[in-house]
Structure 1
Amino acid sequence: MRISVKLASICLMLVLLLTITTPAFAATTNPVLSVTGTTVAPVASVTPTTATAPLMPGDTGTVVVTLTNTLKSPGTGNTTVITESHQNVYPPTAGSGITTTRQTQTSSSDGSSGACELKFVNLLSEGPIHVQNAAYTDVGYLGLGDSAQFQFTIKVDDSAADGKYYLPLKVKTDNDECYVNQVVPVVIDSTQPRLVLNDAPSKLGTSRGNIIIDVVNYRSSGINSASVIPEGAEFTFKPRAEYTVGSIGAGEMYTVTFETSSKNATYTGNPSFVLKYKNGDNWHQTAPLVVGMEPKTDAAAAGNGGGDNTLLILGGVILVVLVLIGGVYLFMRSQRSKK
């Protein structure tokens, strides 16, 4: 009987000493990384934050990428509970004594914190658009619902054709299942604002005449620091150096007036005007608008001068004839009075 009790006790102890594992399963959720915003605009003193604008050939621009960890709550993962039992016999003599049992429990979880570590964020060049700065590396962690912005400077070739180009955006994290591999569209549009002649005299003299010009912005985005600059060595203008317009919105028009006169009684050239403006912080200038005038040449002036001299000579001859006639008349009268 003692042997049976002892054998049973030993068996019970072995069973209790075995590790009993009770897993409690729950879904494992990885962080979700998403591009929640991109802006592309000509580089400017103030970084664009809300709207995009097309670049022109030769422009330097800015691309701002916003990354967001859209996960709202961390995953609970798999929870493991470990129960251990220990048997003590007192006094520790075979076949006798008092047996006691003690149990301990420990638990562990492989659930995600929901954060992701950004290893690198990179925007790649494509076609005529070149990314000027290197990739962002080892940026840090992006927590639940957090966002971060990354700015890239791009340069457009001077000979770039109009169209939409797609720059590859690549983002890697410490989690192979959390990454970004998509494109950022960039629009190139070479459309320029224009100067349109509204009104002008057919010819100019030393007195002033008004030349009226419309500044029309045909672009899909606004321009700034716009000014109209007159040119022509044989003419004077008011304003003398330039007519400052400032900012002109997309599709808007602004009218300017120059009081213009010739410096001399003669001229052979034509006055012209150019529009200088900024797309972002990039300077551009339109082709000259030439205002055609009827020339006042030296030959015409000489012809006019010859006509004046002829009149003077003719007047002098007539005056001499009149004097002679008057003299003859007086002489004849004096002779009659003597008789």
Structure 2
Amino acid sequence: MPDTSAAPAPALAAQAGSADVPTVAVLGLGAMGLPMATRLATGLTVHGFDIAQERLDLAAAAGVAAFASGREAVAGADAVLLAVRNGEQLDAVLFGENGVADAMAPGAVVILTSTVGADAVPAAVERLAERGIGLVDAPLSGGPVRAGEGDLLIVVGATPSDLGKARPVLELLASTLTVVGDRPGDGQALKTVNQLLCGVHIAAAAEALALADALGLDTAKTLEALGAGAAGSFMLSNRGPRMLEAYTEDGAEVLSRLDIFVKDMGIVGKAARTVGLAAPVAAAAEQLYLIGQAQGLAAADDSAVIRVLAPAKRSA
């Protein structure tokens, strides 16, 4: 049965200063990595690495020990937290020319927080096992603010032994921690299902608001009315206001890039084809993100997908 538990952050924080406090290395101190490292530093010993000195300086100011290379950062760490773009980048970070796997201590664990697809995991698990290192498959949901507050949703696939080593890290980051299976890859599988729904919901919200505008409705009032009824959803209430900002000069603040859903919906489609399942709604949503990317919206907030359907706002 899945195990869902909330994070006992105060208990973990109380360990700070103890000789038994685990050490975690965070590789990449970007939009998500820095707030996660900062959060972890409230209860654990944290090593950090980033190619940008500015990010290292910010991490150091938050109590993170900054290192000049990833290999130096992971030396002696009990866990290594990774946020990578895809399976190819996962392999490069772990096993490439400057890969960190050979610098990690046997018995340590890699915590993979990214959505890379279940098929990218087995080879990494096998190669890490040869070095006595475990992989905890822990893709997460939530933005930078929630990361800094320890309010992430994390789904996990890992052996009980490896999960036990990773729990001090995961419980500081998660408000909801769901263990979905004891195999690395199980977390990726559930996150793939999650991203199918998220991607479709964003696309559907964009289509609805574009139609409201085309019908001459006040889109702000439409959004308010929809959110109060059965048509409401988290994605509508979260992305809807940003969709209305998509037509402003600067567009909506980028909280989740559109090309992330190009990647994730691609993972969804590949997974569905692998098991012989038709997923026509997901496929249609994927095409909207692909068109948006082709139109130069890759780095825009994913709410900008509304501009694929309606390049210009009709009503005032």
TM-score normalised by the chain length of structure 2? 0.21
* Larger fraction in strand: 1
* Larger fraction in helix: 2
Name the larger-Rg structure.
1
